[in-house]
Amino acid sequence: MQRPPFVQLGAYRTTAGATDVFASVSVLSDIVATLPAGTDLQVLEALHTEENRLRARLKGGGWISLEDTSDGFRWAKLAHIGVYRTLASPVQVFADSEAVVQSALAGEDQSSAVPVLRSLQSGSYIDIVEVCVVQPHSEGGTALRLARLQGGVEEDEEWILLEEVGSGQLFAQPIQGGAFRTTSVSTDVFFGCERLLSDRASWSLPQGTVVQVEEVVYLKDDHRLRGRLQSGVWITLENTSDGQRWADPWQRGVYLTLAHELPVTVDADPESGVSDRLAAGLYVQVLETRYLEEHRCVRARLSGGGWASIEHLQSGSCLAVPISHGAYRTVSSATDVFANLLPTARSVLFDSAQRVPFAGSGDTLVDYGAAYSWPAC
């Protein structure tokens, strides 16, 4: 057994359709459980075995495979470490992880109030250096994802609630890399992360240039989101003080397929093996995007596994389109409102048999912040 270098411990989420939990580090040991995709785990230790497996010991017991190092197949993915943007307002900051859990369990019970260090308004950018999953010891308590913010020293930490796993309620979302398209007439290129004049390149990117952003950093004092491109140079993505943007990402979330028999391959390389073909008119959930310059196409990793092309830049063909966020008008005479992402979680504002009453079809405006694909919903 070898301890693999540069393996981040902490919160992971299973990505494979089924992930076996073994009694010991050996892949020949007994299988004690099988986890579906989307299960949150806390990894305490990682080892590399002779079977080309990156194995992980879980909090609560058992071992799983994180990755087959011979072909890159992954059973679970590390929670994003880096830049996040708050969604809720306010997001409360606490002195330690236990205080976050106590506050989440207390809910609106002010008698159990936990001291708050400060509050973050919706749209605030933060740097997260650690994510962990905890299961409160209370009846019916849902698992919680907690995050430690950058900047605090060991004796002066800052923690927030990132997600209520059971309900799917997010309090902050990661700002990740992927495929981006420049929107400014001219986007300066730098050789370093900081916007130093001495690091500015002699060229810039014209509007409409598609790039692959490998890393995003937040320069708090400079009010900038910066992106490192595949070639190693840096560009500015956004001025966080006024919202000016130099490049926009390809949207993640729900897409509608347009192409007939859209090939789904086992990995990002479009020439890898085809595992499935999607008919036109299907809704799919895109988890990640990647621009492949050598193929001049934007690829998407799907929630059900595999990768598909969503746009061919050379031919200009669009193979799938995102379901847009923003303002919508209801068209049904009655539209259910749910408390969270789960289709069974009808809002607590209404009893289980009641639908949200509208005076008539099409008289209510709503704003969609996100869309999700859910089977049989």
Distances (CA, A) of 365 to 7, 87, 284, 313: 47, 20, 25, 35
Tell me which of 368 and 203 has the higher pLDDT.
203
Domain 178-249 has CATH 2.30.30: yes
Token representation of residue 368: 């969609």
Q: Which of 94-98, 111-115, 195-199, 352-356 has the highest mean pLDDT?
A: 94-98
**Given pLDDT bands bounded at 50, 70 and 90, which one contains residue 317?**
very high
**Domain extent listing, the chain:** 10-78, 82-174, 178-249, 253-322
- 180 φ, ψ to 5°? -130, 155
Position 198 scores a pLDDT of 80
Q: pLDDT band at residue 364, thresholds of 50, 70 and 90?
A: low
Question: What is the C-alpha separation between 235 and 227, in angstroms, rounded?
Answer: 5
Tokens of 117: 């260090």
Percent of the chain with pLDDT over 70: 84
Per-residue model confidence (pLDDT) at position 140:
58
Q: What is the mean pLDDT of residues 194-199?
A: 80
* pLDDT for residue 359: 39
Q: Which residues contact 88 (CB under 8 A, 6 or more apart)?
A: 122, 171, 172
Query: Mean pLDDT over residues 60-88, rounded?
Result: 89
Q: What number of CA atoms fall less than 13 Å from residue 180's CA on the CB side?
A: 31
pLDDT digits (tens, 9 = 90+) for 4-27: 556 788 899 898 888 999 999 999
In sequence order, the 6+-apart residues with CB closer than 8 A to the CB of 262 are 277, 278, 279, 280, 308, 309, 319, 320
Burial zone of 30 (CB within 10 Å; 0-12 exposed, 13-18 middle, 19+ buried) = exposed
Averaged over 274-296, what is the pLDDT? 94
Q: Tell me if the domain spanning 10-78 has CATH number 2.30.30.100.
A: no
Distance, in Å, from the CA atom of 40 to the CA atom of 349, rounded to the nearest integer, reads 29
CA angle 249, 287, 260 (to 5 degrees): 90
34 vs 37, higher pLDDT: 34
Asked if 121 and 97 touch (Cβ cutoff 8 Å), the reply is no
For residue 363, pLDDT over 60 is answered with no
The residue behind tokens 């305490």 is 44
The C-alpha torsion from 207 through 213 and 215 to 217, rounded to 10°, is 10
The pLDDT of 359-370, averaged and rounded, is: 52
Whether residue 298 is predicted with pLDDT greater than 70 in this model: the reply is yes
Task: Tell me which CATH homologous superfamily contains domain 253-322.
Answer: SH3 Domains (2.30.30.40)
Q: Please report which confidence band the pLDDT of residue 357 belongs to, taking 50, 70 and 90 as the band edges.
A: very low
Q: What integer pLDDT is reported at residue 368 of this predicted model?
A: 56
Per-residue pLDDT tens for 139-185?
A: 556 789 999 998 655 557 899 999 988 778 899 999 999 999 999 99
Predicted confidence (pLDDT) at residue 336 exceeds the cutoff of 90: no
Residue 184: the pLDDT is 94
| Shared fold status for 10-78 and 253-322 | yes
